[in-house]
Structure 1
Amino acid sequence: MKKLSIFLVAAMLLLLSACGTQKSDQGEKETKSGGSENELVKEGSLTFAMTGQYPPLNFKQDGKLTGFDVEIGTEIAKRMGLEANPVTNPWETIIQGLKANKYDAIIGSMTATPERDKQIDFTEPYYLSGAQIFVAENNKDTQSKEDLKGKTIGVIQASTWKDMAETLTSPDKVKGYPVDVNALQDLALGRLDAVITDKIVGVSAKNEKGLKIEPIGDLLNEDRVSIGVTEGNKDLANKINEALQSMIDDGTYEEISMKWFNTNIMEK
């Protein structure tokens, strides 16, 4: 009888020990999971990703990453008390890389869409883009979308901008182009009355190629280009938002924007 009692006590102690270990392991997992949102991929640095193939927003020059996105990310890191660590990743897997903790954020001109928001979280926008109407600098007759009725509009072939253009003029007055820059060059030469394209694309072409074109009116639709962070990482998103807002408030954001685009791309 005594042997049986000793056996039962030993079995209970073994069971309690196993339960304690399981709870301890679970608690450790919860602690790691709960703290992971505040950890950085590289201690003391903000590691942020982009393709490096989207000038003037992000690209390589003499083997070094540069561009608007890089400067915005670098300034945000500085205001967070961190070193900037920009890295590249192919666009098609850039969200997967963030989810796999390869980097802390995506600062690579990504539009915050409902589909992407299901996978990651976004900060407030760090610039606004979207469909923009451009006209030649000397065109004083076309100053709003209402002035485009019956006018010839250039767009990229098979784009959503083609549908927009057709509602503003007529289908037979919409001319398709393989790339934006060809349409914008024809616009500057007076072969078109207007072009509808992405705002940043048009502004970049104007600055880089010296095209005598101007944006008119408000955006026809709005793309809120934001910084992506891992889902649930509110702490990092809030810190980035605070840094970005301070840049806007003290004029640093506008300085960077003017350097790359000769306009403030946070404004519509």
Structure 2
Amino acid sequence: MKKIFIAFCIILMSLFFAACQKNKNDNQTESNTTLSLKVGTDPNYKPFNYKENSILTGFDTDLVDAIGKKENIKITWIQTSFDGLIPALKAGKIDMIASAMSATDERRKSVDFTQPYFKSKNLYIKLKTNNEISSKNDLEGKKIGIQLGTLQENAAKKIKNAEIRANKDLNIAILALKNSKIDAIIIDQDAAKGFLAENPELVSFYQENDDSEGFSFAFDKDKQKEALARFNKGIDELKTDGTYDKLLKKYDL
């Protein structure tokens, strides 16, 4: 009887270890499965997403590509205007948004956001020669340029009697400001760095929080849970291994 009992225990232990190994192999297979994602971006938002020598680049672009390599995700970039990104996501034309999009409660009604990967602020800029404007209160009743569909558009709408000039491309707003066709622009502070450096006649005069959790990657609601988990994991890993900090330094963020 003792021998039978020992044999029975050995069989149970063998079955247990076999089940554990199968579960381990299943998990490895799942994590090693290649995902293919069409990622939408607006390449007019330096330093996050822009073109250099006709090649798509930027902080968001490099971050997504680095996560893709680490998490076995094939990335195909799709370029579209910022205000068309969520409609394209809902229509299935893209699987993910990576375009310096701020996570807000309103957007969260239709998309799933990753954890934030960058926090920024709104910056207000004007012509140096415009002495009529020195504070946000001075913008009441003035013409304000913004990029269509951004949080800066929401900020402009809160200014009393402001005349909002929305464009899909911030370069159009910058040109209008330089030609005195508008009085000010509200822009992300980090996107403003390049414009201010290239246009010394412009100057910032006010800064504020943008009322969001920060920039996040977005997926269609409840449709990309595995990809969402991999990107959250990837963000953490890149912050741990130093890749994230290198990208911050590369793009002067």
* Structure 2 counterpart of 1:156: 145
Letter in 1 for 2:89: I
* Structure 2 counterpart of 1:255: 246
* Structure 1 counterpart of 2:22: none
Letter in 2 for 1:181: I
- Secondary structure of 1:85's counterpart equals strand
Aligned ranges for residues 232-247 of structure 1 at < 5 Å? 233-247=224-238
Alignment size in residue pairs = 205
Q: 1:50 aligns with which of 40, 50, 59?
A: 40
Letter in 1 for 2:119: L
TM-score, with length taken from structure 2: 0.57
Residues 258 and 155 of structure 1: CA distance in aligned 2, closer, same or farther (over 3 Å): farther
User: Does 1:198 find its partner at 2:188?
Assistant: yes
1:201 deviates by 3.7
Letter in 2 for 1:247: L
On the 8 A contact 2:35/2:227 being kept in 1, the answer is no
1:124 deviates by 0.9
Larger gyration radius, structure 1 or structure 2: 1
Aligned ranges for residues 68-79 of structure 1 at < 5 Å? 68-79=59-70
Structure 1: 5+ residue stretches without partners: 1-37
Q: 2:216 aligns with which of 226, 235, 245?
A: 226
1:74 deviates by 0.8
2-side partners of 1:125 and 1:85: how far apart?
20
Aligned ranges for residues 1-268 of structure 1 at < 5 Å? 44=34, 46-56=36-46, 57-80=48-71, 82=72, 84-90=74-80, 91=84, 93-98=87-92, 103=95, 105-134=96-125, 155-156=144-145, 159-166=153-160, 180-182=173-175, 185=178, 196-209=186-199, 213-214=203-204, 217-222=207-212, 224-230=214-220, 231=222, 233-260=224-251, 262=252, 264=253
Letter in 2 for 1:94: A
1:160 deviates by 4.1
* Structure 2 counterpart of 1:23: none
TM-score, with length taken from structure 1: 0.54
On the 8 A contact 1:154/1:183 being kept in 2, the answer is no
